[in-house]
Amino acid sequence: MFSKSNQSNWKSTAEKSFGRLGVSISHHPVLWFTMCLLIIGSIASQLVHLRTDTAIESFLDQEEQSIIDYNEFKDTFGRDEVFIITVEVEDLFNQTFVDNLRAFHQALEDEVPYLQSVDSLINASHIYGENDTLIIEDLLPIELPKDPQELKKLQSYTYDSPTYQSYLISKDRHLTSVMLRLEPYIYGKDAEGNVTTKYMEDKEMREAYAAIGSIVDNFTGKLSNDIRIAGSQPIAIILGEAIERDFTVFSVLGILLVGIVLGIVFRRGSAVFMPLVVMILGVTATISFMAILDTPMQMTTSILPSFALVFVLETASIY
């Protein structure tokens, strides 16, 4: 513990140091302003590394037992988040549609990165018994049965089977779905050449989402006029993109609004320019340090720039 005399000396030293700093800044304003710009400019270069994380588990500390249990679940069973692609169709058992669906399924397997599995009617199994023999074959063969009776039999089996109802086929029989699961890990190598594993993050999810979106665009109008991407993972990605977009829009609008208010209140250019400069530099430095410390922008921390904006503005306006 510090004694009262030590505390007094410490406070006095700090006050004198700030006083000398203020005198130096007032005598050399251009030099200090240039130094601030250079320092903030150098750390602002790290803004490109700022990442967003909208995953639900990011709300909890990684040492929480619930997060540890969830990671063990992913290790054992894979990710529980999925991409669900719904395809509207008038006639599921149409040869042209089946051919296009097969090509769509194959394109997803070939072009989507970090893919673990694709489930659709193309790789669904048709299981039945015949002469004391259990037969397992593809639900949709390359060539659909030409015989109307055989085709109707296949339709009845597909539509009546609880395995496909409300999973790969909607109850009204006008929607079919394609389920995509991604790998729980991404693999790399460290500086020594050893293989490393880490859980997939938002960057890899967005790459997969972009590839899926590109494939969907290519098949829209060919496979179906109504193809949609749904699921928990696309929602998280879209939410992250909305956070980034709204952050930029509201920051710009906030700066404009603050500038207008300062102009109305003080009616001087310097009273508008100087607080705005301090405000912008302060917010930029705050967000840059988030990128440097690898702290992601989350739903709970996206309000931080607004708090920094208000705090810096209040301080700058007072002084």
Q: Where are the domains of the chain?
A: 29-76+235-319, 82-230
Fill in the amino acid letter for 171. K
Query: Per-residue pLDDT for 5 more than 60?
Result: no
- The mean pLDDT value for 227-245 works out to 83
Instruction: Output the average pLDDT for the chain.
Output: 81
pLDDT confidence of 319, banded at 50, 70, 90?
Answer: low
How far, in Å, CA of 54 to CA of 300, rounded? 9
Fill in the amino acid letter for 167. Y
Instruction: For the chain, give the number of residues.
Output: 319
How far, in Å, CA of 37 to CA of 30, rounded? 10
Residue 85, Ramachandran bin (φ over 0: left; ψ between -120 and 50: alpha; else beta):
beta
How far, in Å, CA of 138 to CA of 319, rounded? 76
How far, in Å, CA of 101 to CA of 87, rounded? 9
Instruction: Indicate the pairing of strand 185-189 with strand 175-182.
Output: unpaired
Cβ within 8 Å of residue 58, ≥6 positions away: 296, 298
pLDDT in tens, 95-151: 999 999 999 999 999 999 988 889 999 988 877 777 777 878 888 888 888 888 888
Query: Per-residue pLDDT for 185 more than 70?
Result: yes
Sign of the alpha-carbon torsion through 250, 205, 187, 103:
negative
Share of the chain above pLDDT 70, in %: 87
Find, among 131, 221, 122, the residue nearest to 177 by Cα: 122
Question: What's the confidence (pLDDT) of residue 308?
Answer: 66
| Number of Cβ within a 10 Å radius of residue 220 | 14
